[in-house]
Amino acid sequence: MKRIQVVPGWSFRDESGNELNPQLFSLLAAIHEHGKLTAATKSVGISYRHGWNLLNTWAAFFGVPLVSMQKGKGATLTPLGDKLLWAKQRVVARLEPQLDSLTSQLNLEIHRALEGVSPLLRVHASYGYAVALLPEHASEIQLDLQYKSGEEALAALNRGVCDIAGFHVPIEGMSQAQIKKYGHYLKPRVHKVIQFITRRQGLIVKRDNPCEIQGLSDLLRDDVRFINRQEDSGTRTLLDELLRREKINPAKVSGYDDEEFTHSAVAAYVAAGMADVGIGVEAAARQFNLDFIPLSYERYLFVCHHRSLQQEAVIRFLEMIRTSQFYQAVRELPGYSPDLCGDVVGVEEALNQSSR
């Protein structure tokens, strides 16, 4: 089946309308990775001369150099070069859920225009690395995947707006407040839970952990800047519960009110040096070559009406996430496990597993 992907692009223009080459971002990323202009230009697939001219052109545009070149020490990004690189990463990371949702809608329309249309499955789910794998493996169904907060997804399921809702809960120590919140939407006689994956949440810190952060108590230090997730996210709920257990007042955490909207956006924020530590999944930390301090394991769950288990689209969905290919794709994500993926259990059993 034909699929398209929505990829954002950056454009810089001066006051005269002259547009500069977006290839600079690829070159800056390669310099950051390799530390040498020769290796960076080779990695990007351009000549050394072209790379050198590109850096000089942009340096003239901004009025300051983007790369520092020292004999015997290679090439390093200047503060502006570093900010430009990570600014792009942050924008892309922040827009991931919206872009993926738009991609899903466009691919759905393409699929509908083709002959032999497959069954439609509407999924509203909290954004995550494993959930983002679904479109790649959904060859037997039309997958309409829309990213929402866990609570929004469950509310949509109850309104009949989607067929499956996805959200995540702690594997151990789920608070009564969380059980009450999710229990408001989940009806044991109506719904069934599809086990999906487990993932590891923790603190994302700079490479080699220069601030020597060991746990949540270090967030109270004056020399530590924190970046949080948005208020309606499951990760924010998890953090608040962990802080409560350790009797840490969120108001005393520098940066608690500063928010990003995805795990990768938090990681990009830390990678850019705008914070010393953030909260997120291990896969995000590894994506940006950062270190990770585990705090808790979570179980990601899908919920559907029990009658939906007999629908062709849901049957094919279950077959898909039970395949060895999907299991392997999940295992390649740092901190993720597909154990029990595809198992169908009752609501009470699923919530009890997390409240022990």
Each residue of 92-128: pLDDT tens digit? Answer: 777 777 777 787 777 777 766 665 567 899 999 999 9
Question: What average pLDDT does this structure show over 269-292?
Answer: 94
Q: Are residues 107 and 188 in the same domain?
A: yes
Any idea what DSSP says for residue 215?
S
Each residue of 178-221: pLDDT tens digit? Answer: 777 788 899 999 999 999 999 999 999 999 999 999 999 999 99
CA atoms within 13 A on the CB side of 287: 23
Which pLDDT does position 184 carry in this prediction? 87
Which pLDDT does position 5 carry in this prediction? 74
Question: Facing residues of 121 across strands?
Answer: 143
Q: Are residues 136 and 182 in the same domain?
A: yes
Residue 330 lies in a domain: yes
> Pick from 13, 45, 77: which residue ends a domain?
77
Which pLDDT does position 355 carry in this prediction? 53
Q: Are residues 72 and 105 in the same domain?
A: no
Which pLDDT does position 114 carry in this prediction? 62
The structure tokens listed for 252 are 């005393």
- This prediction has a pTM of 0.82
Q: Are residues 118 and 27 in the same domain?
A: no
Each residue of 22-50: pLDDT tens digit? Answer: 889 899 989 988 999 999 999 999 999 99
Q: State which amino acid sits at residue 316.
A: R
- For residue 86, how far is the Cα from the chain centroid? 16
Q: Are residues 172 and 306 in the same domain?
A: yes
Burial class (CB in 10 A: 0-12, 13-18, 19+), 252: exposed
pLDDT, mean over the chain: 90
Q: Are residues 96 and 25 in the same domain?
A: no
Which pLDDT does position 102 carry in this prediction? 82
Residue 100 lies in a domain: yes
Q: Are residues 57 and 205 in the same domain?
A: no
- Of all helices (H) and strands (E), which one includes residue 49? helix 48-62
Q: Are residues 322 and 352 in the same domain?
A: yes
Each residue of 301-355: pLDDT tens digit? Answer: 999 999 999 999 999 999 999 999 999 999 999 999 999 999 999 998 887 766 5
Q: Are residues 216 and 241 in the same domain?
A: yes
Residue with the two structure tokens 């898909």: 320
**CATH code at 321?**
3.40.190.290
Q: Tell me which of 9-13, 37-41, 59-63, 80-84 is least confident.
A: 9-13
Residue 204 lies in a domain: yes
Q: Is the pLDDT of residue 240 over 50?
A: yes
Q: Are residues 264 and 302 in the same domain?
A: yes
Domain that holds residue 133: 92-356
- The span from the CA of 264 to the CA of 61, in Å, is 30
Which pLDDT does position 181 carry in this prediction? 79
Which pLDDT does position 116 carry in this prediction? 57
Residue 16 lies in a domain: no
Residue 332 lies in a domain: yes
Which pLDDT does position 356 carry in this prediction? 47
> Pick from 77, 101, 117: which residue ends a domain?
77
- Classified as helix, coil or strand, 223 is coil
Number of domains, the chain:
2
Q: Is the pLDDT of residue 90 over 80?
A: no
pLDDT band at 82 (very low <50, low <70, confident <90, very high): confident
- 15: Cβ–Cβ under 8 A, 6 or more apart, which residues? none
The structure tokens listed for 299 are 């179980």
pLDDT band at 173 (very low <50, low <70, confident <90, very high): low
Any idea what DSSP says for residue 141?
S
Which pLDDT does position 91 carry in this prediction? 78
Which pLDDT does position 294 carry in this prediction? 97
**CATH code at 56?**
1.10.10.10
Q: Are residues 305 and 206 in the same domain?
A: yes
- Of all helices (H) and strands (E), which one includes residue 330? helix 324-331
Residue 139 lies in a domain: yes
- Identify whether the C-beta of residue 165 lies closer than 8 Å to the C-beta of residue 157: yes
Q: Are residues 123 and 157 in the same domain?
A: yes
- Classified as helix, coil or strand, 78 is coil
